[in-house]
Amino acid sequence: MVSAAPRVRIDVSDAMAARIGPRGLDAAAIMALQPQIDAVHAQLTDLTGAGRDFLGFLDLPVRMLAQLPAIRAAADQLIAAGDTHVVLGIGGSYLGAKTLFNALTHPYHNQLPAERRGWLPKIYFAGTDLDSRELNGLLDLLPARGPVLPTSGFTVNVVSKSGTTLETAVAFRILWKRLKTVYGDLAAKQVVATTDPDGGALRQMAQRENFTTLPVPPDVGGRYSVLSAVGLLPAAVFGADVAGLLAGAADMAERCRTADLNENPAYRYAATMFHAQQRGYHIRYLAAWAKGLETLVHWHDQLCAESLGKDGRGPVPIAGMVTRDLHARGQQIQDGSHDTLVVNLVVNRTEPEIAMPDDPGDPDGLNYLAGQTLGHMQRQAWLGTTYAYCQAGRPSVHIVLDDVSAYSLGQLIYMLEVATVAEGYLMGINPLDQPGVEAYKRSMFALLDRPDMAGLRAKMGQLGPDLEQVV
């Protein structure tokens, strides 16, 4: 039975020709995709589609319930061991966790005193790049020598299925050196490694150093892993309702059991996006209308780009935060080329609300807003922007959350994951691999003189600009 709890909803009416004119999408054409959706549903249900070995994300809402005790135990270990916690990962190994952090914690969590944080640690994310300035800045926040008390200590969760992802592995080697300097023989107690359960460089290191470990499911790719220990452990460390997150995802999984486009929100979304591609809308602008969801649209950016950018095709996702980005991106969408589909991510309720105060002198001419809440203003900005786009024949789709909670996020994440795979199958591509990413990695490793890439390095010759010739 589907839960009566708050739901994620999708409204596509402002993208349809009936609303915005001839440049809009065709509702009948979308519904005519039902036979193709039936085939997609069979591929997902029977695990027969392309990339089927990585469809394990589909049952994570149920499968992870058995792992929650181990995840909570690891989180308790990290919470007790330090007031600062660093999550090391890149791509799906950190974006999901950061999405949950930014959505479900106080917006200034790290600046709050410990008692206001409920004695939970400050959270930082690293291992996402090769920027010396950023990593040096993080090291400046961490103790440089021991002994230290838990109230001033730090812990690390390193997330990598293989352990060889360059950015994360480099950052971990540097932080592991700092941990050994500060904690000596006890350094391993400050680390939890989330990695492949059976093999890989990080698994071998974890066994050698006696780290606590949690598994990355072998049948789940990084960008689909937020509902595994990859996202759930950091969420437990900063106090999120991890059981509620899984419950929301399970609710959405139940709604996705049918192939009916009128009942399954993931398939309705996938079919609409696929039809939009067919109509020439190749740019997909996911706009967050709540600050706490800004990282989620960046998570979606990776999910969409890495899954659907294949064979010279696929939408170009763009992540946006509004109303901020309306002062830039809004111009292009309103008056630029007709190639952008806007997807608004809207929250129905925000609490507590702040009302505009009255000023008797009305020096800024804003007394007409007195008594109105920021949430009301935000809603009118969303509706006004949509109206302007409709008048210009620009399509908008709305994803509406009743609230920003673990339960709602679980629904939304699961829906977008299923929708992305379904759209990939409609396109006839494998949405669960990433050959383009592997290509850049090979070239990068060759230029860094990794021994097994010597042959490729020899073929590459001299690269980069000739600084003598650059103007």
In sequence order, which residues have a C-beta less than 8 Å from that of residue 173 and are 6 or more positions away? none
Angle at alpha carbon of residue 391, lines to 387 and 396, rounded to 5°: 55
Per DSSP, the three-state class of 125 is strand
* Residue 423 a catalytic site member: no
| Residue the block writes with tokens 């480099």 | 170
Please provide the DSSP assignment of 16-69 as one string.
BHHHH-TTSB-HHHHHTTHHHHHHHHHHHHHT-STTGGGBGGGGHHHHGGGGHH
Burial of 408 (0-12, 13-18, 19+ CB in 10 A): buried
In sequence order, which residues have a C-beta less than 8 Å from that of residue 220 and are 6 or more positions away? 54, 56, 57, 60, 228
Reading phi first (left if > 0) and then psi (alpha if -120 to 50, else beta), residue 21 is in: left
Pairwise CA distance, residues 388 & 392, whole Å: 6
| Cα-Cα-Cα-Cα dihedral sign, residues 329, 287, 104, 238 | negative
* Residue 294 a catalytic site member: no
Per DSSP, the three-state class of 401 is strand
Pairwise CA distance, residues 394 & 451, whole Å: 52
Which of these is catalytic: 294, 306, 417, 423? 306
Which of these is catalytic: 327, 351, 438, 468? 327
Cα distances from 53 to residues 57, 134, 161, 222, 417, in angstroms, run 10, 36, 15, 13, 15
Report the candidate in 338, 342, 459 with the shortest Cα–Cα distance to residue 396.
342
Pairwise CA distance, residues 469 & 52, whole Å: 50
In sequence order, which residues have a C-beta less than 8 Å from that of residue 91 and are 6 or more positions away? 222, 223, 302, 306
List the catalytic residues: 306, 327, 441
